[in-house]
Amino acid sequence: MAVLITGGCGYIGSHTCVEMVKAGFDVVVADNYHNAKSGVQQRIVALAGKEIPFYTCDIRKETDLIPIFEQHDIQAVVHFAGWKAVGESTVLPLAYYDNNISGTVTLCKVMQRFGCHRLVFSSSATVYGEENPAPLREQMPVGKVANPYARTKLFNEQILQDLCIANEKFSAVILRYFNPIGAHESGTIGEDPNGIPNNLMPYISQVAIGKLPYLQVFGDDYPTHDGTGIRDYIHVVDLANGHVAAVKYAMAHCGAQIINLGTGIGYSVLDVVTAFEKATNIKIPYQVVPRREGDVTIYLADPTKAKELLGWQAQYDLETMCRDTWRWQQNNPNGYEE
Ligand code: WQD
């Protein structure tokens, strides 16, 4: 009996592999390495302490997926595989709909063919749009999402809910992530963005290591305590353990459930800079620049449902997230060098 992890060599996927094995599951990994380096495989195995089958797999191809289900008794799937760059999605919408939507549909078709009816899906808080008030709760209406990437998350959520209506044996746990940051405490796996990081924490850590000169703070005129944007940052290992809890829930229930994975605690950009400086004793130079197109003032989770339904809540604080980020960055100044 095994759990298939699509995109299992990516940032969140690799951490989830390690936590799934730690929780006693056998895992099988499928990845096409569009957003991951194959070098992470041996690091996952070293942390898991056991062999793990890795398949180079494009989830849009049934011919890639079928051998995996033929060779392994897949009881559940944790589905990370997909493209995730907000800006890129506005330039390449068809590639995003092909990879993220067609890929999910093909995966579900093959799952059903092999009698596998449990799926945990990587969704995003971005589906709440800008009009829902913080803290965000799962029963709120989905918002006007701002880009094709976010629409692929929204469409996949609808597809999985429709599938659960059509097939009463199917179980889909749809996890809405807030802002995952940090790295495994070993410093051997972590976030390895392609090119210049879009997201705050990897950008800060590359400033700290000297790869980038200073941080651009996107706006200090928001209605917040210090004028900068507030987000719900969650340690990637906490997020990974949220997936372990979700797999256990999916194994025991049918139907679709939407669940936030966040801490319920909001920090501003400058709060994160201060926490990083405190955790590492490294000064982070920054310049305030105009707001970034599409940014909202605050994204904050109400994490109640995850606690009540999954028995899960985040454990790590912001300082730990910063310290673990820095250890990964120090050990791997150029990420997973191929
Ligand atoms: C966080 C805060 C920025 C970079 C994104 C995606 C979202 C999800 C999580 C996948 C904001 C500020 C950032 C910088 C800055 N990904 N910032 N300077 O935008 O909340 O969410 O990642 O699901 O879909 O949109 O994360 O880290 O980019 O920004 O000032 O160089 O940091 O304005 O307030 P975001 P982020």
- CA nearest to 21, candidates 39, 42, 33, 3: 3
What residue owns the CA closest to ligand 1's atom 27? 199
- Cα dihedral: 76, 78, 83, 87 (round 10): 140
d(CA 50, CA 313): 27
**How many angstroms separate the most distant Cα atoms in the chain?**
56
Amino acid 14: pLDDT: 98
Model pLDDT for residues 207-257, shown as the tens digit of each residue: 999 999 999 999 999 999 999 999 999 999 999 999 999 999 999 999 999
- CA nearest to 107, candidates 128, 76, 133: 76
Mutate which of 179, 201, 215, 228 for ligand 1? The one with the most ligand atoms within 8 Å of its CB, which is 179
Using the predicted structure, report yes or no on whether residue 35 has a pLDDT greater than 90: no
Q: 170: helix, coil or strand?
A: coil
Using the predicted structure, report yes or no on whether residue 338 has a pLDDT greater than 80: no
Model pLDDT for residues 149-178, shown as the tens digit of each residue: 999 999 999 999 999 999 999 999 999 999
The active-site residue out of 11, 55, 96, 149 is: 149
Q: 129: helix, coil or strand?
A: coil
227, 279 contact by CB (below 8 A): no
Cα first-last separation, the chain:
32
Q: Please name the residues in contact with 72: beta carbons below 8 A apart, sequence gap of 6 or more.
A: 2, 4, 28, 53
Atom of ligand 1 nearest to the CA of 292: 33
Residue 54's φ and ψ, nearest 5 degrees, are: -110, 130
Question: In this structure, what token pair is assigned to residue 330?
Answer: 């120090």
Q: Give residue 143's pLDDT band: very low, low, confident or very high (50, 70, 90).
A: confident
Residue 245 CA, chain-centre distance (Å), reads 15
Give the residues surrounding ligand 1 with Cβ less than 6 Å away: 84, 86, 124, 126, 177, 179, 198-200, 203, 215-218, 229, 231, 269, 292, 295, 299
Peptide bond before residue 135 is cis, with ω within 30 degrees of 0? yes
- The DSSP H or E segment spanning 270 is helix 269-280
- CA nearest to 10, candidates 48, 50, 37: 37
Query: What pTM value is reported for the model?
Result: 0.97
**Distance from Cα 25 to the centre of ligand 1, integer Å:** 32
59, 84 contact by CB (below 8 A): no
**Catalytic-residue membership of 149:** yes
- CA nearest to 11, candidates 48, 37, 32: 37
